[in-house]
Every structure is written in structure tokens, then in C-alpha cells.
């Protein structure tokens, strides 16, 4: 019965590996389907967006977090609650722009790239670009338009992974005419 | 388990992408999804069985798939495992995770196969890593329960 031992402890880790592997299979498929890396990046972003707009509901339901007062609070919630909840990591929030509308998320380790090595002919591929889409999609659903992109990536030789987020505007909800 | 939601959403994106990009040929799409699952299954079972004891026989392997493997992916065990002891196993899941968000009526029954292909591949890939060559098919008669049939190919 040695097989029964210490299973509960790593079931959480296994689950994140399942996600990592599935994501890998997806990126592989995209690389097969599209000829250039830019197109793959775009697809990943688009799919991330679709995930984000749905994931935000799950997030709000689970975390019972209310409205954020400012962008700094939003940044903290993303890093400390959302990333922790879904990827099991807590990126640090740094490099605020003076105007307070732009910051970086620094990921010490990125679970998505656990088993990944980029081949030479895919130098333009932003492997984890899905994350940008997810963040963009999720924030759009809470009336925030943001611009998200990777500034550094360990896969491409940088020492950390850095996601840069820029606040663009608050999305005003347009109520249908005569409905207020 | 909070980290389930991203996997489910990723899985539906996968299906959405495959069905949108190819020109409508259902069989090809199913094969693509199945192949992706195969790759994932191979990797996953390698990680899962890292510290386990050697399996006694085929049935032992199937039990592992029904319990540990299934729990890892779907957070529950297979509800019923049946075999004819001649290389055919039927794994029944009464509340299959990838179908449980679809309407339970007959309306979407024809769409069920695309939600099963990836998992068929998962099982086939997992078994293949353990040295068991197989063919895995799935059928749904009443949502969201589902039967996976594993036919072992003797080598």
C-alpha cells in the first residue's frame, strides 16, 4: 500500500502541472498551425481574453473582494489574491510610473514555463502571452481598460519574468436608451 | 480547489480554437484534440507515478487510472469500472466534469464528442506511458454521465 502515501500533499501541485502541460499542448498546436510567431502571440492573447472575461466571475465569487479604490489596490489584488489563487504564486508589484498608472508584476517563477525550452526558430514567440489576455479580459469586465505586455521573460534569457500593465481608461457603461 | 477553473476554461478555449480554425471536418478535429490529450496524458502520468510501486498487472494499472489519475484531473474518482477480463474496460463517470456545464437535456447531445476527445487522449496517453497500448472511445447517453471504453491492444 505504499501507493497511498503522501498523495494529498502534492495533488495541488499536480493540478497546476496538468494546466501547464495542457497549455504546452495548445502552444505546440498553435505553432504548427501558424507560420509566424506574431500570429501565435495574437491567438494566445485572444484566447486569454476569452478566459479572462469568464474567469473574473469565478474570481469575484470566490474571493468576495469588493470594489477597488484605486489602481494601486487593483494591482495588489491581482498579485496577492488572483495570482495566488489560480497559479499559486505571488508576483511582486514594482516599478510604478510617477503618475501611478503603470506598474510591473515580477514573477520569480512562472508555472506556465515549467517544462519549456524555446527552440531557436521561435525567438519571437511570447510563450506565456495568454496571461496578458487573461488580465486584459478580466479587468475589462470590471470597467478598466488596460494594456498588458511582457517586458521580460525568463524563457528568453532574462533573469525574471516581468509583466507590464498600463491603465488606459475607465470604461463607462453605456446603458441602453431609456433604461436607467 | 480554485485552480480548477482555469483548466476548464482553457479546455473550452482549446475546443473553440480547434473547431474554429479547421474547415468543419469533425473527424479531423476530434483527432487533433485527442492527440493533444495524448501528449498531456503521457507527461502527466509520468509525474504521477514517479514515486509509486510497480504495478502488479493490467487491472492494477486501470485502477490507478480510475482513482489517482482521474482524481488528479477531475477531482473525483471514476464511479464504476467494469471489465470482461479480456482486455476491455468500461469506465463510467456519472458526473463528468467537462459535460456538467452543458444543459442536461438531449439538446446538446450531438456536441458531446468534442468535450470527450481530449480526455480519451489523456487516458490513452497515460496508459501508453505505462506500457499499455490501447484504443479509447467514449459515449454519452444521458448527460452528464459518460462511459469511456478502453480496448487494450495486445502487443
pLDDT tens, position by position, A60-115: 999 888 888 899 999 999 999 999 999 989 999 999 999 989 999 999 889 899 88
Residue B1 confidence (pLDDT): 41
Taking alpha carbons only, the member of A132, A138, A137, A142 closest to residue A104 is: A132
For residue A7, pLDDT over 60 is answered with no
Could you say which of A7, A22, A26 has the minimum Cβ distance to residue B68? A7
pLDDT of residue A1: 42
**Could you check whether the bond before residue A122 is cis, i.e. omega within 30 degrees of 0?**
no
- Look up residue A109 and give its three cell numbers: 517563477
- Rounded Cα gap, residues A141 and A146, in angstroms: 11
| pLDDT at A179 (0 to 100) | 58
Partner-chain contact A18 B40, CB within 8 Å: yes
Which pLDDT score, from 0 to 100, does residue A114 have?
Answer: 87
Confidence band, pLDDT 50/70/90 cuts, at residue A9: very low
Confidence tier at B69 by pLDDT (50, 70, 90): very high
Percent of the residues in chain A that have a pLDDT greater than 70, as a whole number = 90
The answer, yes or no, to whether residue B9 has pLDDT greater than 70, is: yes
Asked whether B138 and B113 are in contact (CB, 8 A), the reply is yes
Closest CA to B111 of B127, B95, B99: B99
Q: Do B3 and A7 touch (CB under 8 A)?
A: no
H-run or E-run covering A68: none
Catalogue all structural domains in chain B, each as residue range(s) with its CATH number.
4-152 (3.30.1380.20)
Task: Give residue B118's pLDDT.
Answer: 95
pTM more than 0.80: yes
Contacts A17 to B, Cβ<8 Å: 43-44, 47
Assess whether pLDDT exceeds 90 at residue B110.
no
Judged against a pLDDT cut of 90, whether residue A5 lies above it is answered with: no
| Residue B83 banded pLDDT, cuts 50, 70, 90 | very high
| CA distances, B150 to each of A22, B90, B119, B122, B130 (Å) | 22, 6, 12, 12, 14
Whether A33 sits inside 8 A of B21 (CB atoms) is yes
Mean pLDDT of A164-173: 89
Percent residues over pLDDT 90 in chain B: 60
**What pLDDT, on the 0 to 100 scale, is given for residue A13?**
67
Verify whether the Cβ–Cβ distance A25 to B1 is below 8 Å.
no
Residue B75 C-alpha from the chain's centroid: 13
Closest residue by Cα to residue B13 from A51, A31, A39, A27: A51
Residue A130 pLDDT exceeds 50: yes
Grid coordinates of B75: 477531482
Amino acid at each position: 500500500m505504499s501507493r497511498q502515501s503522501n498523495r494529498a500533499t502534492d495533488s495541488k501541485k499536480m493540478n497546476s502541472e496538468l494546466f501547464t502541460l495542457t497549455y504546452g499542448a495548445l502552444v505546440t498546436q498553435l505553432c504548427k498551425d501558424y507560420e509566424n510567431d506574431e500570429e501565435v502571440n495574437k491567438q494566445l492573447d485572444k484566447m486569454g481574453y476569452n478566459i479572462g472575461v469568464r474567469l473574473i466571475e469565478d474570481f469575484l465569487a470566490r474571493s468576495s473582494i469588493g470594489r477597488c479604490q484605486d489602481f494601486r489596490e487593483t494591482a495588489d489584488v491581482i498579485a496577492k489574491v488572483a495570482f495566488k489563487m489560480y497559479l499559486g504564486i505571488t508576483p511582486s508589484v514594482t516599478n510604478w510610473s510617477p503618475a501611478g498608472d503603470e506598474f510591473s508584476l515580477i514573477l520569480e517563477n512562472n508555472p506556465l514555463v515549467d517544462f519549456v525550452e524555446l527552440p531557436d526558430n521561435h525567438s519571437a514567440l511570447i510563450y506565456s502571452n495568454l496571461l496578458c489576455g487573461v488580465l486584459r479580459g478580466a479587468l475589462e469586465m470590471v470597467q478598466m481598460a488596460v494594456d498588458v505586455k511582457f517586458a521580460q521573460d525568463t524563457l528568453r534569457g532574462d533573469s525574471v519574468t516581468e509583466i507590464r500593465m498600463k491603465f488606459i481608461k475607465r470604461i463607462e457603461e453605456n446603458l441602453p436608451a431609456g433604461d436607467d | 480547489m480554485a485552480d480548477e477553473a482555469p483548466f476548464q476554461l482553457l479546455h473550452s478555449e482549446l475546443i473553440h480554437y480547434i473547431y474554429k480554425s479547421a474547415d468543419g471536418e469533425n473527424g479531423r478535429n476530434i483527432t487533433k484534440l485527442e492527440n493533444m490529450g495524448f501528449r498531456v496524458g503521457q507527461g502527466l502520468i509520468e509525474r504521477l507515478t514517479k514515486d509509486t510501486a510497480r504495478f502488479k498487472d493490467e487491472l492494477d494499472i486501470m485502477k490507478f487510472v480510475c482513482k489517482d489519475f482521474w482524481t488528479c484531473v477531475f477531482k473525483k474518482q471514476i464511479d464504476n469500472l467494469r471489465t470482461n477480463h479480456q482486455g476491455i474496460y468500461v469506465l463510467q463517470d456519472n458526473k463528468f466534469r467537462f459535460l456538467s456545464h452543458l444543459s442536461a437535456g438531449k439538446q446538446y447531445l450531438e456536441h458531446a464528442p468534442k468535450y470527450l476527445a481530449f480526455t480519451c487522449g489523456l487516458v490513452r496517453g497515460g496508459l501508453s506511458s505505462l506500457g499499455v497500448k490501447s484504443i479509447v472511445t467514449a459515449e454519452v447517453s444521458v448527460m452528464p454521465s459518460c462511459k469511456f471504453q478502453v480496448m487494450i491492444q495486445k502487443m
